[in-house]
Amino acid sequence: MRIISYNVNGIRAAIKKGFLEWLKTDPADIICVQETKAQKENVDHTRFNELGYYDYWFSAQKKGYSGVAVFTRIKPDHIEYGTQHKVSDDEGRVLQLDFGDIRLINAYFPSGTSGEERQKFKYEWLDEFFTYLNKLRLQYPKLILCGDYNIAHKEIDIHDPKGNKKSSGFLPEERVWMDKFFEAQWIDSFRHFCADPHRYSWWSQRFPGVRLNNKGWRIDYINVTKGLKDQLIAAEIYPDVKHSDHCPVYLEIES
């Protein structure tokens, strides 16, 4: 089973930049995208079906905002929309699919960059989601959690750790949450295979040359519970795929 997680920063904008042509290259069996910024009916989703993908969408109530979708060549056994956390579900943040004994969770974690109110919401969301995941594992020991976490975990995951120590996405409290997350028997699948520095998945668009000079952050992940450790085959990041300010991250797992 080959999985990609990709914050497309607007699915319609990504399509204009060649997203569908990229899908034709067969990059994975399952493509999990975040920040679709669209309702399903606003997109010609039949084009995904023509390429051999089933498509599942969970959009925000607010138009042009947030939202997740999954395009999969493997038909899931079950789809779960949201987590029953109303504010999160209203923003279209979590979509879950079952493939045999594996549950795949596609999540778009909140950003706190717009101000204190959203940063507070981000902390509340993280705590709520952590509790939700712990309960979910009792029913589904084999979980895959992919998405834009909007947090760079360690200094190796960000180009300028000192300059960003007060930036949302690299705040001490956020990094402590990531510590707690991995201590709770989750595996960072990319770091399981690769300890190299300067491997990033997002580059700010606020400053020219940032991506060209690889001044990025690794905030996109495909993490798995320890019950899947022996099934991990490969993980990668694809910075040369450019339909967004993020790039795809990849995991291959024996299903």
Which residues belong to the active site? 148
CA–CA separation, 38 and 156 (whole Å):
33
- Report CA-CA distances (Å) from 141 to 80, 86, 193: 17, 25, 22
Answer whether 109's CB lies under 8 Å from 91's CB: no
CA–CA separation, 164 and 247 (whole Å):
21
Print the SS3 string covering 50-88. HCCCEEEEECCCCCCCCCEEEEECCCCCEEEECCCCHHH
Phi, psi of 78, deg, nearest 5: -160, 145
CA–CA separation, 145 and 249 (whole Å):
12
Answer whether 28's CB lies under 8 Å from 5's CB: no
Of the candidates 190, 186, 57, the residue with the CA atom closest to the CA atom of residue 130: 186
